[in-house]
Structure 1
């Protein structure tokens, strides 16, 4: 891509949807499922680090999946630049994961007790 050329756009609706799903919905699901499995069943070992890691898995960045899909599907340069911008925004808001980490630690602590 040459300088000054249009580098694609990032639609706000999908960005907001992915952010809400990644940082709120999947967290609520993973916290609930792992907490219930850890505290009420014997399906998971008594290992809080395992629980913590499993709770954080849904918040992982989508970069590898998106770039691989763009390459395999034969996306244009403009689409790849839009994906790059999307990933840049996602990594910029990644510090919000600190709330996930604190919530995971508290959920693991509650499951141990």
Structure 2
């Protein structure tokens, strides 16, 4: 990409939607589900670290495979730059994961105590 060329843009509606789903919806779903499975069934080992990790899995950062998929799909440079910007913004706001981490930790402790 040459200096001064259009580098693509990040549409804000999908960015906000992905952020809300990633940091709010998935933790609200995954934490109670894994807590219930850990405390009410014998499907999982009695391992609080396993529960903690499973509670956080859906909250993880967006897949870096997006860039590889764009390459395979034959996306142009402008589209690849948009994906790179999207991923940069996603990682910049990743500290929001702290709320899901605390919730998962508290739920794992509660499940281990029951």
Shorter-chain TM-score range:
over 0.9
| TM-score normalized with structure 2 length | 0.95
Q: Distance in 1 between matches of 2:63 and 2:78?
A: 17
CA distance in 2, matches of 1:18, 1:66: 14
Distance, in Å, in 1 between the alignment partners of 2:63 and 2:77 is 16
Give the Cα separation in 1 of the matches to 2:53 and 2:84.
27
- Partner residue of 1:79? 79
Give matches, 1:16-55, under 5 Å: 16-55=16-55
> What secondary structure, in the 3-state scheme, does the structure 1 residue paired with 2:27 have?
helix
Over aligned residues, Cα RMSD in angstroms? Answer: 0.9
Q: Per-residue CA shift, 1:66-98, capped at 9, x if unaligned? A: 112211211110000000000000000001111
CA positional deviation for 1:15? 0.2
Distance across 2 between alignment mates of 1:35 and 1:65: 30
**Mind listing any 5+ residue stretches in structure 2 that lack a counterpart?**
none
> Secondary structure of 1:66's match?
helix
Deviation at 1:61, TM superposition (A): 1.4
Aligned length: 113
1:14-54 superposed Cα distances (whole Å, 9 cap, x missing partner): 00010011111111111121011001100010000000011
